[in-house]
Homo-oligomer: A and B are copies of this chain.
Amino acid sequence: MEKMKLKLLYTDLKSDIDIIEKELENALNSSSHLINDASLHLLQAGGKRIRPVFVLISAKFGNYDIDNIKNIAVPLELIHMASLVHDDVIDDSDLRRGRRTVKAQWNNRVAMYTGDFIFARALEYVTAIENKRVHQILAKTMVEICNGEVIQIEDKFRVDQNLKDYFRRIKRKTALLIESSCELGAVASGLDEKNIRHLRRYGYFVGMSYQIVDDILDFTASDKELGKPAGSDLLHGNITLPIFYLKDHPIIKQFIEKASTGKVVEEDRLAMLKVVRNSEAIKQSIALSNQYLRKALKEVEALPNHQMKKKLRDIALFIGKRKF
């Protein structure tokens, strides 16, 4: 449903997104039945394909050529898919958007290798691109994403962390890949440095907002909307934005302590959710997300006149308002 709404935002890109979807299918074809099954499972789960969309839209500002651009959009989405498969191992998650994760459907090892395989496939696509800068941006992004995941492990259940730690994590977890999607679309279509920079920064700000909203929804959306129990982030020790405003609340403190030793029962989860949902923390978090969105919109303003500017604005606004 929500995915549908987002898709309405880019109906005129549909034929090119279909090309990318087809390419993703090809990319995930393996000689191993196990990998094929796991990959099919991932493809069927769908996804908003928001990274490819950012690549396409950014590229529209320059010399748009789908045959060239797809070689950037496909590996970016593959890197995203691979990192999700590995994330579910890190977070021990059995469900993602209502579907069983690869780790749950098979096991941690299969998830590790399916992720590796998808990473490797991403690389294969990248080799088709004859642009050193593109390679460098992609490699740097991958290094930082991997780095970020380890920082995420290190920060788990750490109540003495500060907001800077949180921003560092969501930057690497989400913002970087969206930033790179916008930047790479712009670079590959031959945009000038000034506009590459605007699109890159737009991607970064939108990415930060996107993850903040995701982190809010993990508390405010229903289990059904999330396709997994609400509050899963905190249950797994991920201290997200709303919690920074509530770290001294006795029920939250107790919940984190119990979660860190795996002693949370359903009653605890519901009590924790009630505290977060009824607190000012949600509003404060939304305000912060909106700050990022405003910065993103400023970057859009600075871009030259183009029909895609409206699209960039609409997507930013959609991200700020989405309900799940």
A interface residues (Cβ-Cβ under 8 A, vs B): 30-35, 86, 89-90, 108-110, 112-117, 119-121, 123-124, 126-127, 130, 132, 135-136, 138-140, 142-143, 145-147, 149-151, 153-154
Kindly list chain B residues whose C-beta atoms are within 8 Å of the C-beta of A113.
86, 90, 146, 149-150, 153
Q: Which of B117, B126, B150, B153 contacts A150 (CB 8 A)?
A: B117
Kindly list chain B residues whose C-beta atoms are within 8 Å of the C-beta of A34.
150, 153-154
Q: How far is the CA of A108 from the CA of B154 in the complex (A)?
A: 14
In this complex, which of A31, A120, A136 has the most chain B Cβ atoms within 10 angstroms of its Cβ?
A120
Known contacts: A110-B153, A112-B86, A112-B89. The answer to whether A135 contacts B126 by CB under 8 A is yes
B132 near A130 with CB under 8 A, answer yes
Known contacts: A32-B147, A33-B154. The answer to whether A127 contacts B120 by CB under 8 A is no
Closest to A154 in B: B34
B117 near A32 with CB under 8 A, answer no
- In order of increasing CB-CB distance, the 3 nearest A-B pairs are A127-B135, A120-B143, A123-B139
A143 near B127 with CB under 8 A, answer no
Kindly list chain B residues whose C-beta atoms are within 8 Å of the C-beta of A86.
112-113, 116
Q: How far is the CA of A129 from the CA of B168 in the complex (A)?
A: 30
Q: How far is the CB of A205 from chain B (nearest CB, A)?
A: 23
Q: How far is the CB of A255 from chain B (nearest CB, A)?
A: 22
Known: A32-B154, A34-B153, A113-B153. 15 other contacts (CB 8 A): A32-B147, A34-B150, A35-B150, A89-B112, A90-B109, A108-B108, A110-B153, A112-B112, A113-B150, A116-B149, A117-B143, A119-B119, A120-B146, A124-B139, A127-B135
Q: How far is the CA of A124 from the CA of B135 in the complex (A)?
A: 8
Q: How far is the CA of A120 from the CA of B147 in the complex (A)?
A: 9
Q: How far is the CA of A6 from the CA of B142 in the complex (A)?
A: 35
Closest to A133 in B: B127
Q: How far is the CA of A124 from the CA of B126 in the complex (A)?
A: 13
Kindly list chain B residues whose C-beta atoms are within 8 Å of the C-beta of A151.
31-32
Q: How far is the CB of A34 from chain B (nearest CB, A)?
A: 5
Q: How far is the CA of A109 from the CA of B138 in the complex (A)?
A: 24
B110 near A123 with CB under 8 A, answer no
A136 near B146 with CB under 8 A, answer no
Q: How far is the CA of A138 from the CA of B122 in the complex (A)?
A: 12
B142 near A120 with CB under 8 A, answer yes
B31 near A147 with CB under 8 A, answer yes
B150 near A123 with CB under 8 A, answer no
Kindly list chain B residues whose C-beta atoms are within 8 Å of the C-beta of A126.
135, 139
Q: How far is the CA of A176 from the CA of B301 in the complex (A)?
A: 51
